[in-house]
Structure 1
Amino acid sequence: MKKAFNMLLITLLIAGTSAKSQTGEPNYGVKETLVQNFSRIRINADINVVLVQNDKLSRVYTEGDESLLGEIIVRVKGNELFISSTRPISYKGKLQVTIPVSNIEKIEVNSAAAIACVNSLKSPFLLVKANNDCDVKIKSRGKVSFETGEGYYIQHMRQTEIRISDAEENTGG
């Protein structure tokens, strides 16, 4: 009886693995990157970024399609955290970078990223500079200022949310 149960279990596991490989669903993975203190973030990848106010964590987590994890580069240089990619493709919906922040001063977005906060940031002043089409949803207890690069403008703004787009998108051209 025990042998029959084990054979049934093995058969179900094999069938489940085969079904998953036939659907083409990617394997889920997480990459953990230990980082030093930083007060600025520069995003150079088309990716979903989640900011979490946390004074103690010093690890950035990249999660999603396991086959793409190695294409996202997370590094700190000076007091700035850089998020970049090895290929110029959109990782939105495929990967997410979760960043614990404490007293963040500036976020510069040079890509079509989507940035959101899980909780309110405690920064007394935060500058968000967007040099590309992007979506930013920021909650902060302090003052938040927005700047756009040349050729971009703030398309939509609520108290904690902005959408940046280029001038051509606004004129329909």
Structure 2
Amino acid sequence: MKVDENNGTLAEARGLSGKKIKISKKGATPPPSVENKMSVGLIYVNEYYSGWKELCFRVLQSKFDSPERSFAPDQEIIEALKNCSIGQEMNLKQVQKLCMPFIRFKKDEAREVGTQALDLKLPFSEMDVLRENLELIRRQLGLEHVEVLSAFEVLSACDETAHAKAGENVKTAESESAVPW
């Protein structure tokens, strides 16, 4: 994970936590009340690509010539996407708008580094990177405690402790696992 990605994610999280605090009309931010102040952050990490990105990877893997580090033409890739479940759920323009920027990025990466760019799992542990930076994340977000949890374990209820920690947020995690980002 690049430092820029961490900074962007932290800035986004700070912005989201800032929305919880109401700003007065004169622009001064009142001190957060005890009940409004968030003290615990739970970060859910997908260790594998899933959903529409997984489908894109599967299509790219099938259309990649490893020795040549080249792909079938885009039209052939689009046709394969149309035949996937995503092609049944969306019209062609929606599929292209959602998938093609990601596919172009992954194609460029695969041409540079080879088939490992098309693996469903990142070549490093995002959970380990986040855990190494927990203190920074905690300070930047002004939280008392931060944890990194596997989204798979929470959503599948494999880890009952992680599932219990998510509490009512399990529904949010479930709905956001289908979100295209």
Which bin holds the TM-score, normalised by the shorter protein?
A: under 0.3
Question: Which one scores higher on RCO, CA 8 angstroms, separation ≥ 6?
Answer: 2
Normalised to the residue count of structure 2, the TM-score between the two structures is 0.21
Write 1 or 2 for the structure with the bigger share of helix: 2
In the superposition, the TM-score normalised over structure 1's length comes to: 0.21
| Greater share of residues in strand | 1
